[in-house]
Amino acid sequence: MPDPLFLLAVMAGAAMLAAAVMLAWQAPAAVRLALGEGLGIGIALLAGSGILGRWVRWSLAESEDRLLLIVLPATIVAEVFAAFRAVPRWLAWAVRFIVAAGVAPVLLFNSLYLADSAGPQTRLWTDGQTVLWLGGLAAALGTVWLLLVLLARRGPSRSVLLSLAVVCAGAAPTLMVSGYLTGGALLIPFAAALMGTAAASCVWIVPHGDSTAVGFGVVLLFALLVMGRFFADLGNVSAGLLLFAPLLAWLPEFLPGKRFPPWMRAISRIALVTVPAALAFYLAQSCFIWPPSFFELKSEWRSSGPLCLHKGTSRAGT
């Protein structure tokens, strides 16, 4: 098992780093705030994952590298673009949906699902299955992204961001016990960075519609769930619970306004999303045995691609 004290130290460092970068911009203007949030979370994620043994590699050979070098920068660009007031909402969402449609193909590029990488006719998906899978994944990500951004626009998005951070924190051990150690490790500093960003936003009044950190969180969570599902042993039920858990944050919006003040709605959001995250972990951990030492695997993580410990028949990977 990972050393809990060490992981707490990494999380604290990632949270403070994300908050410091965000506060360094010193202005709540929408575009500057969006860029500050994106850079702060990105830097904290890279630093935290590096301390855990996974420094970014300037190569696109592995799916995790494509996540860090292509998917996440594209998400930041899409959210910063959407923050400009002069940009029509339909155009902002068109850019977001283009990013959403490209996440799964980028991550699964050259895997046995999409290519004959192990020899002639070894591809696992037919053309029809490819369209269904990639279309369904794009629709799922686009739906969650859209609904959470709309929720964040109803007021300051701190509780929405904290709810998403709780889901990411719950997804980290779920991915680990599903055999995807490196993916779980990436989510540890990321969840802390989301919390640090939410805390830093208390310094000023966050403009309505601020959604950079929310969009960033949704995309990274989705990407790691995709890799856990197709490259490790994350089950469909656990993946679905974690992906759609943040949408439960909508439920407190239907409570009577006078009887349930904003602070009570915020607590309700966090409590609600905890339930499916905990259930996903329970379903995943029931058939997993931890390796002798998590940190003995760090050297292999540095030198290879996504590190997965399979419980049964291995899945096709890059």
* Digit-coded pLDDT (tens) for 251-303: 988 877 667 777 788 889 999 999 999 999 998 887 555 554 444 444 444 44
Across 58-62, 232-236, 239-243, least confident range:
58-62
232 in any annotated domain: yes
303 in any annotated domain: no
Most confident by average pLDDT, 53-57, 115-119, 129-133: 129-133
pLDDT in tens, 182-215: 888 889 999 999 998 888 877 665 554 457 788 8
314 in any annotated domain: no
H-type alpha helices, the chain: 4-24, 30-51, 63-66, 72-83, 89-107, 127-152, 158-177, 181-200, 212-231, 236-244, 262-285, 298-303
310 in any annotated domain: no
Chain-centroid distance of CA 246 in Å reads 11
Name the residue with higher pLDDT: 128 or 8: 128
Q: Residue 94 burial by CB count (10 A; 0-12/13-18/19+): exposed, middle or buried?
A: exposed
pLDDT at position 300 is 45
Strand partners, 71: none
Name the residue with higher pLDDT: 104 or 26: 104
Contact 219, 186 (CB under 8 A): no
Q: Residue 56 burial by CB count (10 A; 0-12/13-18/19+): exposed, middle or buried?
A: middle
How many structural domains compose the chain?
A: 1
317 in any annotated domain: no
299 in any annotated domain: no
Cα torsion 199, 11, 307, 179: sign? negative
Say how far apart CA 65 and CA 50 lie, in whole Å.
13
Q: Is 234 left (phi over 0), alpha (psi -120 to 50) or beta?
A: beta
**Total residues belonging to the chain:** 318
15 in any annotated domain: yes
H-type alpha helices, 25-68: 30-51, 63-66
Q: Residue 307 burial by CB count (10 A; 0-12/13-18/19+): exposed, middle or buried?
A: buried
146 in any annotated domain: yes
pTM for this entry: 0.85
pLDDT in tens, 39-72: 888 888 888 878 877 777 777 888 888 998 999 9
The boundaries of the domain holding residue 198 are 4-286
